[in-house]
Amino acid sequence: MAEEPLVVEGKRVLGVVPGVPPVGDRKIPDEQESVMVWPHLLVRHAVAALAVLLLVLIVAIFFDAPLREIANPAVTPNPEKAPWYFAGLQELLSHYHPLVAGILVPGTVVLGAMALPYLDRNPDRHGRTRRVAVATFTIFLVAWIILTIIGFAFRGPDWGWVWPWNAWYGEL
């Protein structure tokens, strides 16, 4: 078996001359330069995936999935809570007619999100010309997050207002 070839930055080299490069020893990478996915991106993705899995595996040690009493069509629990990702929808439902809160609003949001790239024809990706798009998206996002948090943590029996530090009714 021949000697292992010496490889520097993915290229075989015949030899290495010691010394300092004339422009200094720190190389500033070019952001637009293309690099090999293997290993540069794969390593990062692997670490990211492992970190997320580790988080799940640790959280699962400490927090058990809930299991309430067996389903009973004769008793509606009070409060009746949807899963947390629908808590915003449920909060809307307590204020508006189901056709509006349950169908029109979520339907418009989903269809609007799908149509977004065709409505927003501004080719600019950064900066001030995107103010309208960014503001619209942010308003929807923040409104949705607030509704979700209210529905999830601030609602108690009869869908009345409770402070989560007084009584906790959130369900995961």
Partner 1 sequence: MTHNNELSRRKFLTRMWAAGGGLMAAAGAWTGWDLLRPSAASSLTAQVKTLPPQAVPATGVVEIKAARGYLTREGDQVIALSWKCPHLGCRVPWCESSQEFECPCHGSVFNRLGEYRAGPSPRNMDRLATTVVDGSLVIDPGNVTPGGPLGPETIDEPPAGPRCIGEGH
Partner 2 sequence: MTIGKRFRASTLGRSVIRNPNRVTTRDRAAGHWSNFFLHIYPVKIRRKEIYFRYSWFLGVASLALFGSLVVSGIYLMFFYVPSPTTAYGNIQFIQTQVPFGQYIRNVHRWSAHFMVLAVAAHMARVFYRGAYKSPREFNWVIGVVLLVLTLLLSFTGYLLPWDQLAYWAVTVGTSMAAYVPIIGEQVSNVLIGGQEVGSATLIRFYVLHVALLPTVGVVVIALHLWRWRKDSMLDTEHDQQEAM
Q: Which of 3, 25, 30, 158 binds partner 2 (CB under 8 A)?
A: 30
7: helix, strand or coil: strand
Answer yes or no whether residue 15 interacts with partner 2 by CB under 8 A: no
Query: Could you tell me which residues come within 8 angstroms of residue 109 by beta carbon, excluding any fewer than 6 positions away?
Result: 140
Q: Which does 119 bind (CB under 5 to 8 A by kind): partner 2, partner 1, none?
A: none
Answer yes or no whether residue 95 interacts with partner 2 by CB under 8 A: no
Answer yes or no whether residue 80 interacts with partner 2 by CB under 8 A: yes
CA distances from 13 to 2, 19, 29, 129 (A): 15, 16, 21, 49
Q: Which of 12, 95, 128, 131 binds partner 2 (CB under 8 A)?
A: 12
Answer yes or no whether residue 132 interacts with partner 2 by CB under 8 A: no
Q: Which does 61 bind (CB under 5 to 8 A by kind): partner 1, partner 2, none?
A: partner 2
> Cα-Cα-Cα-Cα dihedral of 91, 96, 97, 102, to 10°?
-40
Find tokens 């720190």 and name the residue: 26
Q: Which does 16 bind (CB under 5 to 8 A by kind): partner 2, partner 1, none?
A: none
Structure tokens given for 76: 């509606």
Report whether 124 contacts 130 (CB < 8 A): yes
Answer yes or no whether residue 154 interacts with partner 2 by CB under 8 A: no
Q: Which is nearer to partner 1, 75 or 172 (CB)?
A: 75
Answer yes or no whether residue 53 interacts with partner 2 by CB under 8 A: yes
